[in-house]
Structure 1
Amino acid sequence: MSACTAGAGYSSHHLLDNYDFASLGNGLVVDVGGAGGHNSFAIAQQYPKLNFVVQDLEAAFGEAGVKVPTELEGRVEFMAHDFFTPQPAKADLYYFRFIFHNWSDKYGVKIMRALLPALEPGARILVYDNCLPEVGTVPGWREKLLKTMDIYMLKILNARESFWLADSRFKFLGVTRPEGSNLALIEARWEG
């Protein structure tokens, strides 16, 4: 996967520069499927009031060789968790980077529904993944690349980022495509 997400278009600065993490105050962010935690580390370094739980399968932690940087100890922790099972952590933000494009709608909905036991009104869900842009809003070569990837993922996995199908109590807040990023920020809030 790292070979597919290398390069400037996948840099964490796109996320850091385009999402209002400061609005979470002293909140908790759960990085669902976060493997080695590199995105949580980057966010934690820029937003010292936030705490993080990086969740993934135990095997993913072993492959990633996880270790919390010394300056982030006590603010970032790792938790073995299968995102198809009920979410155990109550948080202000649940963050999914490059997760949903690999799953058909059926499984994407199952991942989102697994959050329901932990969600409290106002909790946000942030999906940072591929999302087709409006026609003509990005250079032609990039639009073609994104459409090709979208068709490929649909053909192979019947995948779409349609998380709001999971429950009508999710309020869709919008999509932001950071300049120069290959990914888009897709946000919803739990209305309970």
Structure 2
Amino acid sequence: MWLYIEWLDVIILEVFINVHRRRRGTNFDRYRRSQNDLIAFIATCKAEQKGLPSWLEVYSIEEKSKSLAPEQIFIADIGGGIGHQAIGVEQWLPQINNRIFLQDQEVVVPHAIKHDGVEAMAYGFFQPQPIKARIHCMSSIIHDWPNRKATGFLKNTISALGPDPMILFIFIDDKSFPNSGVHWYETGIDITMMAGLASQESTVEQWNDLMEKAGLKIHNTYAYTGTYNSIMECVPVSQEEGPRGR
């Protein structure tokens, strides 16, 4: 949401952050090196969602499960941490027999909650996506990365969708701010993301711009909290006018 910066300025900011902290790589590289930092990060992510309404209350996930072939994968939860999101879906739709994948870095997977119906898989989203699922989910992922990097891993996900008209959705769970009148607390989070990760929270307009650069279009948005948490249902631009597996 912060004032738009050209990609070169973002790179300079990333370098400044790393030099200032006397380290190389991102925060996520540090988690690979430090189990204590990783465990603290996992606990923080869990605490952030505590007490919030569930997106399952506003998003018709059951509709998206219809007409699945028996062998088709239902959801790939990309960067899903220890599995709260994926497990939530399985518990919401226990009658679904199609596979649900939890994907995260190799160092995170051993911490994943063991749950029947959810398969944990080591995967980094800067690599080609090996899973072709009905829905590819990213929850609180994109706001951790500068737009130029987010565009890259979104394109990796698009590449897995293939020509099958039943494999269309990229499902993004993140904050989507109005263009003005945002609460001061949320703008503070935006500044924190800029200072800590060279990234940002985004307005509706900025989300649309990012998706366009990645080759996607936001088809529907479902707000589910009073603090701008929203589900953005995205489809490839090339298929936006076609059938969507509803």
Q: TM-score range by the shorter chain?
A: 0.7 to 0.9
Trace 1:74-93 onto structure 2 (pairs within 5 A). 75-93=117-135
1:22 to 1:4, Cα distance in 2 relative to 1, 3 A: closer
Question: Unaligned 5+ residue runs, structure 1?
Answer: none
2:151 to 88, 109, 118: 109
Q: For residue 89 of structure 1, what is the amino acid of its counterpart?
A: I
Structure number, greater radius of gyration: 2
1:28 corresponds, among 49, 74, 77, to 74
Identity level (%): 23
Q: Structure 1: which amino acid aligns with 2:173?
A: Y
User: Conserved in 1, the CA contact under 8 Å of 2:125 and 2:156?
Assistant: yes
Query: Take 1:151 and 1:7, find their aligned partners in 2: how far apart are those partners?
Result: 17
Misfit runs of 4+, over 6 Å: none
Compare 112-121 and 91-100 and name the one that shifted more.
112-121
Which residue is 1:174 aligned to? 220
Superposition RMSD in Å = 2.5
Task: Give the count of matched residue pairs.
Answer: 179
Q: Which of 46, 54, 75 is residue 102 of structure 2 equivalent to? A: 54
Match of 2:211 among 164, 177, 185: 164
Greater displacement, 79-88 / 20-29: 20-29
Unmatched segments (≥5 aa) in structure 2? 1-40, 240-246
Q: Separation in 2 of the partners of 1:18 and 1:114?
A: 28
Task: Give the Cα separation in 1 of the matches to 2:234 and 2:133.
Answer: 14
CA drift at 1:67: 3.8
CA distance in 1, matches of 2:168, 2:135: 6
1:99 aligns with 2:141: yes
Q: Give me the whole-angstrom Cα distance separating, in 2, the residues matched to 1:67 and 1:158.
A: 29
TM-fit CA distance, 1:41: 0.6
Which secondary structure state, in structure 1, belongs to the residue aligned with residue 133 of structure 2? coil
Which residue does 2:229 correspond to in 1?
A: 183
Partner of 2:187: 147
Length-normalised TM-score, structure 1: 0.80
